[in-house]
Amino acid sequence: MDIRLRHTPLPLRIAAPIVAGLIFLLAWWLVTSFGSIPATLLPSPGTVVGRLGRELASGRLWAPIGVTITEAAAGCLLASVIALPTAYLIAHVRLAEATLAPYLAASQAIPAVALAPLLVIWVGYGMRPVVLLCSVMVFFPMVLSTVLGLRSIDREVLDAARVDGAAGAQMARWIEWPLALPATLTGVRNGFTLSITGAVVGELVMGGNGLGQRLAVQSQSSDTTGLFTTLIVLCVLAIAIYLGMTFIEWLVNPFASSPRWYRLTHPHHEK
């Protein structure tokens, strides 16, 4: 995370996007209020909000929202389980970096819509291929952020820990992972947000019961208002995830980013 953003007061970081969203809604309302654009192309904010309220009140939206969040969270978790050990290996073993880095970069050149049909052939329809697609999309950003965090640790802190007797798994547990935690959480935050996109793309291509499937149906029926309501829900989900993960980062940074972490959590190595 950029150091300037990290030092920005939390209330400002929450209020700023809200104000920006209100400005966007005002501009949208002004454009549609003149009547120069047909409602079939761009419905007014009032129409969209009214439709969104009715669908939320009726409960029709809650099940698709739950499915999409479940797919995104499962994909993000699966990617984390593989990405974090891979990042640790790349950060410490030059041969691993030389071997894996080109393939990790190449994986980002494969479009999600091209990978989706293969996943259907391999694992069939349902939630599993969507979860796998989400994990593939977020794997590379998680690896990069974690490697950056591990390699940014102050060498003096590592040397001091070695003098205190830390080595191997103990070094990783009490020094490297806590100090790399802010960068790792940044990767998880970006990955979780991106995994929402992966879930939607997966459902558009492979089908399902989430918000992506709703977008497909609404697009086929030219339901512009419905498309806007679903897109707004997706934006709100992404913003909520982003702010939630940012808050978690803010909570752990005063501890995990401190060079005193090792001595505070492992006092028996004090001289």
* CB of 243 closer than 8 Å to CB of 189: no
Tell me: the pLDDT tens digits for 160-200? 777 766 666 777 777 787 788 888 888 888 888 888 988 99
Measured CA to CA, the distance from residue 113 to residue 258 in angstroms comes to: 42
**For the chain, which residues make up each domain, given as ranges?**
64-269
Tell me: the pLDDT tens digits for 152-161? 887 777 767 7
End-to-end Cα, the chain, rounded Å: 33
- Cα angle vertex 56, ends 50, 57, to 5°? 90
pLDDT of residue 41: 86
Per-position b or e across 123-133, b if 16+ CB within 10 A of its CB: eeeebbbbbbb
Tell me: the pLDDT tens digits for 101-136? 888 878 777 777 788 888 888 888 888 999 999 998
pLDDT of residue 63: 92
Q: Which residue has the higher pLDDT, 39 or 217?
A: 217
Measured CA to CA, the distance from residue 232 to residue 230 in angstroms comes to: 5
> Residue 37: is its pLDDT beyond 50?
yes
DSSP 126: S
Q: Give the global pTM.
A: 0.77
Measured CA to CA, the distance from residue 5 to residue 8 in angstroms comes to: 5
Q: Which CATH number fits domain 64-269: 3.40.50.261, 1.10.1200.10, 1.10.3720.10, 1.10.510.10?
A: 1.10.3720.10
Pick from 218-227, 239-248, 256-265 the range whose average pLDDT is largest. Answer: 218-227
Per DSSP, the three-state class of 39 is: coil
- Helix segments in 34-153, DSSP class H: 45-58, 62-92, 94-107, 112-123, 127-151
Percent of the residues in the chain that have a pLDDT greater than 90, as a whole number: 21
DSSP 125: S
Least confident of 141-145, 157-161, 177-181, 226-230: 157-161
pLDDT of residue 190: 85
